Amino acid sequence: MIFRKRLDGIEKRYFELASLLASPEVVTNRELYQKYAKEHSDLGPLVTAYGELKDVESEIEEYKEALSGKDEELRNLAREELPGLESARDNLLKSLKIMLLPVDPNDARNVILEIRAGAGGDEAALFVGEIFRMYSRYAEGAGWKVDVLSSSPTGLNGFKEIIAMIEGKGAYSRFKYESGVHRVQRVPETEAQGRRHTSTVTVAVMPEAEQVEVDINNSDLRIDTYRAGGHGGQSVNKLETAIRITHIPTNTVVICQDEKSQHKNRQKAMKILMARILDKATQEHNQKIARDRKAQVGTGERSEKIRTYNFPQNRVTDHRIGLTLYRLSEIMDGDILELTDSVINHFQTLALQSGEAESA
């Protein structure tokens, strides 16, 4: 079985690496030692799970033998234990298959998060701020840094849009399925007759791009500077610190004006621009793969309505997986681990099914 051969090969390599890491030749070669140590560490969880699977399968065989034996007490014990062991075996097999799935090269990267108001006017703008707060609390709880790159506040404590960087190992792997339309249903404070309104915000999640990945020529850029907007008073910017960068070949436009320094605004604008261009190329690549397979699985289309937040019923529903949770207040405070885990498991299962179908 190919699956078992792969696991046996990985286990063999794991123990080879352990021996290499103890050899004087490797210990004295810092670069080589770090390379082997990382590979050994990366394989560790998979080898541990494989060891657990072999132990469980060994127990299953022993109990199956006991079922045909003469000892009545052992037969009864086997009948009691086998269902739990077989369930554990099936769960371990699924976990191992997921571990063997191709790794998304972007998973370990930082995230560029863009949240924009959709339908619903001021109510949608307010919800942009609340969704950003939810994600910020979730990120901070994971030990990641959140840095606002650009924002367009409204006069009612809302935002037309917020663009932020979330820095931390594995951030993209946790956020990548949050792209799409998020719908909120509630009675706005300004609604005198108590009617429930439905508003939407759009979320885009992109991996931070590295300079070497995105080929941007300076001749392809149009850079405009202007005075940053404000509400008056001493903080009004009298210098042209706001930046608008247009990437002419793709007609991608980025505006940054939050910083008081033109240089800092330019740096942030370039981060956003590179992420958008890389994301566009990735989306086109995914769509081509989907067309080739004649099915589109988990490509994170921005137009897809993925989730509804219903305040009167304290309910959140993720429409992609049919999951409904009745603890909206905790979720809006950043407790979204159950949501993200469930969505990730859903797309991993789809990937498994797709891979099994292709190999059939």
In this predicted model, what pLDDT tens digit does every residue of 191-211 receive, in sequence order?
656 678 899 999 999 888 765
**Mean pLDDT, residues 318-327:** 95
Find the range with the poorest average confidence among 95-109, 273-287, 291-305.
Answer: 291-305
Helix axes 2-22, 72-99, angle to 10 degrees: 80
Residue 348 has φ and ψ, to the nearest 5°, of -65, -40
**Mean pLDDT, residues 10-22:** 94
Beta bridge partners of 305: 181
Architecture field, domain 111-293+301-355: 2-Layer Sandwich (3.30)
Residue 197 has φ and ψ, to the nearest 5°, of -110, 150
**Mean pLDDT, residues 282-291:** 61
Q: What is the pLDDT of residue 233?
A: 40
Q: Mean pLDDT score of the chain, rounded to an integer?
A: 84
Where is pLDDT greater, at 278 or 14?
14
Q: Which of 11-15, 248-252, 284-288 has the highest mean pLDDT?
A: 11-15
Would the pLDDT of 20 be above 90?
yes
The band of 245, judged by pLDDT with boundaries at 50, 70 and 90, is: confident
Pairing of strands 111-117, 159-167: antiparallel
**Mean pLDDT, residues 78-100:** 91
Residue 356 has φ and ψ, to the nearest 5°, of -65, -35
Q: What is the pLDDT of residue 300?
A: 39
Question: How many other CB atoms are found less than 10 A from the CB of residue 17?
Answer: 21
d(CA 268, CA 274): 10
In this predicted model, what pLDDT tens digit does every residue of 94-145 receive, in sequence order?
889 888 887 777 888 899 999 999 988 889 999 999 999 999 999 999 999 9
Q: What is the pLDDT of residue 21?
A: 94
Q: Residue 279 contacts by C-beta under 8 Å, 6 or more apart in sequence?
A: 204, 206, 207
Would the pLDDT of 236 be above 50?
no
Would the pLDDT of 237 be above 70?
no
Q: What is the pLDDT of residue 295?
A: 40
Per the confidence metrics, is the pTM higher than 0.85? no
